[in-house]
Amino acid sequence: MDDVASGAVKYLSGFSDVTSLLGSFPLTDPVNGGLPWLFSDNNQGVLKVMEGTSAVAAVCSDFGPWDTPLPLSTIRYRRLRIDLWVDAARDAGRNVTESSSITTNRGLAVFAAVHFRLQRTDPDAVFWGDLCTVGCQVLTDVQFGPVPDGDWLQRGTAYYGVSASGWSDAAE
């Protein structure tokens, strides 16, 4: 069964306007060849993947509840954390070639695509993997800052409130 993190990864991976803005594994990678850098609960390994790439990675995490369910209700309210890791543009010698504000703007462009797909304006059921969501709203806008010892790497974090009503095996 998917949680909001794994479900969001499956959902977002279906949109080329999001995945085309992310870095990806080399086609020669025997396990992940060509897959975009869209991860579930993988903040620890992202820094190693990102070093010197001039690319962006997205990490989705289940960050606990954001509201209390109503009595006798099946709706659950989970908080989805989105981390966008943005490596500064670099030359062949791995020297940074852009200002930190331009790096932030590249991250904001990725966030705009992610936000367009996640922010909901209707209560229709949308499956994220096998998780049935009936709502998703931004709780905090993205905030970028430098990663300590990240060699100009920046991370932006935003939170969404996801309303989910259960799971289905029909999404397989």
Buried b (16+ CB within 10 A) or exposed e, 41-62: ebeeebbebbeebbbbbbbbbb
Does 75 score more than 60 pLDDT? yes
Better-scored residue on pLDDT, 168 or 8:
8
- Mind listing the pLDDT tens digit for each residue in 99-130? 999 999 999 999 999 999 999 999 899 999 99
pTM of the full predicted structure? 0.89
The DSSP element (H or E) to which 107 belongs, if any, is helix 100-118
Q: Any idea which fold 4-167 has?
A: STM4215-like (3.30.2000)
Question: Do residues 19 and 113 lie in contact, with contact meaning Cβ atoms separated by under 8 Å?
Answer: no
Does 43 score more than 60 pLDDT? no
Residue 171 has a pLDDT of 44
Q: Give which of 8, 53, 27 is closest to 151, Cα–Cα.
A: 53
Domain positions in the chain: 4-167
> At residue 112, what are phi and psi to the nearest 5 degrees?
-60, -40
How many alpha carbons lie under 13 Å from residue 79 in its C-beta half-sphere?
13
Residue 68 has a pLDDT of 77
Residue 73 has a pLDDT of 67
Task: Please compute the mean of the pLDDT values over residues 32-46 and round it to a whole number.
Answer: 80
